[in-house]
Amino acid sequence: MSAEKFKEGKGVLIDQNWFQSWHKLKQPRPPLVKNILVAFFAGGIVCLLGQFILNIYISLGVPVEQAGNPTVATVIFLAALLTGFGVFDNIARLAGAGLAVPVTGFANSVTSMAIEFRREGLVLGTGSKMFALAGSIIVFGVVTAFVVGLISALI
Amino acid sequence: MGSYFTAFLIGGLICVIGQLLFDLTPFTPGHILSGFTVAGGILGGIGVYDSLIQFAGAGALLPISSFGNALAKGAMSEAARSGILGVLTGMFELTSTGITATILFGFFMAVVFKPRG
């Protein structure tokens, strides 16, 4: 509510958006068992779909050992597209870890940051903030792989 | 490489581990997903993750732990081929597709779609 409106006596005392967000906070959290079942089925379905895509690439003649790469890229594309259309967040809110743990969550965090910071420009916004959330996954993955690779090279 | 049943089962179970960590620990999703990547890297280092992919196909390939496994495998196999510097040169050998796809699709979506709200 703007100060001018309030002075003119046109405003209401309770900000509508604030009330809605407060109301959501007050709702009880969904029970753990339900969350687990939803995550299991959502994650299972994502991987089932991935297996379908994997089998398509294998049947197209991609060697079995290398078919994982185009499969991951396809799933990343689908997640990025759903994020662009604004659908992903609605599904992810229901699916919880079922969509966050597969590479869909990684793609979603990069794409949503890329879109959100577009308003700060393609270079300083999209380009530099794209990995603001997903960057830690790459950093800790690389540090782990460096240690693992070093140990394997030395023994 | 995996069947529809094993992909569904193992993929679902890995997500259940994630959901348990989301709900029962104070860590943020960023912490937990980084933890998955680290765990994948370690399991890849001891050679367990590859067997899981053989068994579950996309069920082990799609969870983010697979990213840690692919980084570790790339570093290890290049180190075995060309010595200790291979840890650096081989690091992104296997994950290049995923990283490139993420950057490209993320960028193009930002060009095409307007921010909301």
Is the pLDDT at A6 greater than 50? The verdict is no
- For residue B6, what are the contacts with CB-CB under 8 A and spacing of at least 6? B55, B56, B57, B59
Decide if A16 is inside a domain: no
Nearest-5° Cα angle at A40, B15 to B106: 50
CB-based contact, B43 to chain A, within 8 Å: no
- For residue B24, what are the contacts with CB-CB under 8 A and spacing of at least 6? A32
Is the pLDDT at B94 greater than 70? The verdict is yes
**Any idea which residue has 């594309």 for tokens?**
A77
Report the pLDDT averaged over residues B61-87: 94
> A residues 13-32 near B, CB within 8 Å?
32
Note down the domain range covering A86.
Answer: 33-154
What share of chain A has pLDDT > 70, as a percent?
81
What share of chain A has pLDDT > 90, as a percent?
75
**pLDDT for the residue B8:** 97
Pairwise CA distance, residues A109 & A131, whole Å = 8
Residue that wins the pLDDT comparison between B63 and A29: B63
Decide if B91 is inside a domain: yes
Decide if B30 is inside a domain: yes
Do B99 and A131 contact (CB within 8 A), yes or no?
no
> Cβ contacts (< 8 Å) between B43 and chain A: which residues?
none
The confidence band for A138, taking pLDDT boundaries of 50, 70 and 90, is very high
Is the pLDDT at A1 greater than 50? The verdict is no
Decide if A130 is inside a domain: yes
The candidate with the shortest Cα–Cα distance to B98, out of A55, A57, A126, A105, is A105
Q: What is the pLDDT of residues A56-96, one digit of tens each?
A: 999 999 999 899 999 999 999 999 999 999 999 999 999 99
What is the rounded (10 degree) CA torsion for A140, A148, A77, A37?
Answer: -80
Instruction: Note the ipTM here.
Output: 0.94
How confident is the prediction for chain A on average, in pLDDT?
87
Taking CA atoms, what residue in A is nearest to B3? A51
What share of chain B has pLDDT > 70, as a percent?
99
Decide if B117 is inside a domain: no
> Cβ contacts (< 8 Å) between B82 and chain A: which residues?
none
Note down the domain range covering B42.
Answer: 4-112
Report the pLDDT averaged over residues A107-133: 94
Residue that wins the pLDDT comparison between A40 and A2: A40
Q: Which two tokens stand for residue A106?
A: 């990684």
Decide if B102 is inside a domain: yes
**pLDDT for the residue B115:** 85
> B residues 72-91 near A, CB within 8 Å?
72, 74-76, 79-80, 83-84, 86-87, 90-91
CB contact under 8 A, B16 and A43: yes
Decide if A17 is inside a domain: no
Number of domains in chain B: 1
Q: What is the pLDDT of residues A20-37, one digit of tens each?
A: 565 555 555 668 899 999
Report the pLDDT averaged over residues B63-68: 96
Number of domains in chain A: 1
Report the pLDDT averaged over residues A143-151: 96
Residue that wins the pLDDT comparison between B2 and A46: A46
